[in-house]
A and B are shown apart, each in its own frame.
Chain A
């Protein structure tokens, strides 16, 4: 089945530790995104990438880092510099502008709920 997988679903870390969240897609999408969602709020963009080895900061990139070494993978590292990392993290992917499929809507993974103790 095609889709986006995020692992793990729940993650607990001690304050001051870096943690990496996994995101993999087999939809052959070029673009991938990371969003953060806090309780009762909408989604806020952390980073996005339109092509391998390239990525751009979103609205709340401070304290986060990403890499895009493969088209299928876009891992997010939450560093100790992120002041309030406890949140629900969502990864998404989409085809690029100008391609025919899916009208460029974004497909989302199931999310990872990170709790920093």
Chain B
């Protein structure tokens, strides 16, 4: 699975959009980009995934660059409950084995 790079921490004002970047310059053609988040002392929670098109669901939007070497997770209206560590992971969809979680980005939403 390709390696990802994320900033260690970010702040966001409550009600504003939170844009979390992820670099995955070695991603291969059949690897998807997945995002999970982990609220303190809880298990990680799946957010969204995509291959090359932008994706949106009830939690977030995922923007993937045309060359697929980077992506951005967007929380359109961040709330205090969105404070968590956000993990960007790339892997072949449907492949078995573990998810490789790096250190992620700690997002702090402030009032």
Chain A residues packing against B (C-beta within 8 Å): 4, 31, 33, 35, 40-43, 45, 48, 50, 58-59, 88, 90-92, 96-98, 103-111, 113
CB distance from B104 to the nearest CB of A (A): 7
Decide if B94 touches A97 in the complex (CB within 8 Å).
yes
Q: Can you name 22 A-B residue pairings with CB atoms under 8 Å?
A: A4-B43, A35-B98, A43-B44, A43-B98, A45-B98, A48-B97, A50-B96, A58-B98, A90-B43, A90-B44, A92-B43, A97-B94, A97-B95, A98-B94, A103-B93, A103-B94, A105-B49, A106-B44, A107-B46, A108-B43, A110-B42, A111-B43
List 5 A-B pairs, minimum CB-CB distance, nearest first. A108-B43, A45-B98, A42-B101, A97-B94, A43-B101
Does B59 sit at the interface, judged by CB under 8 A?
no
Q: How far is the CA of A79 from the CA of B87 in the complex (A)?
A: 30
Residues of B52-111 at the interface with A, using a CB-CB cut-off of 8 Å, are 87, 93-104
B2 to chain A, nearest CB (A): 15
Contact between B46 and A88, CB atoms less than 8 A apart? no
B91 closest partner in A (C-beta): A104
Number of A-B residue pairs, CB cutoff 8 Å, is 59
Give which listed residue, B41, B45, B49, contacts A88 with CB less than 8 A: B41
CB pair A48 B98 closer than 8 Å: yes
Pick from B34, B41, B42, B101: contact of A105, CB under 8 Å: B34
Please give, as numbers and ranges, the residues of chain B lying within 8 Å of A33 by CB-CB distance. Answer: 98
| Residues of B contacting A50 in the complex (Cβ-Cβ under 8 angstroms) | 96
Write out the residue numbers on chain A whose beta carbons fall within 8 Å of the beta carbon of B42: 110-111
Distance, CA A48 to CA B103, complexed state (A): 21
B71 to chain A, nearest CB (A): 16
> Do the beta carbons of B49 and A103 come within 8 Å of each other?
yes
CB-nearest residue of chain B to A96: B96
- The reply to whether A111 and B95 form a contact with Cβ atoms under 8 Å apart is no
When distances are taken between beta carbons in the complex, the residues of chain A under 8 Å from B46 are 105-107
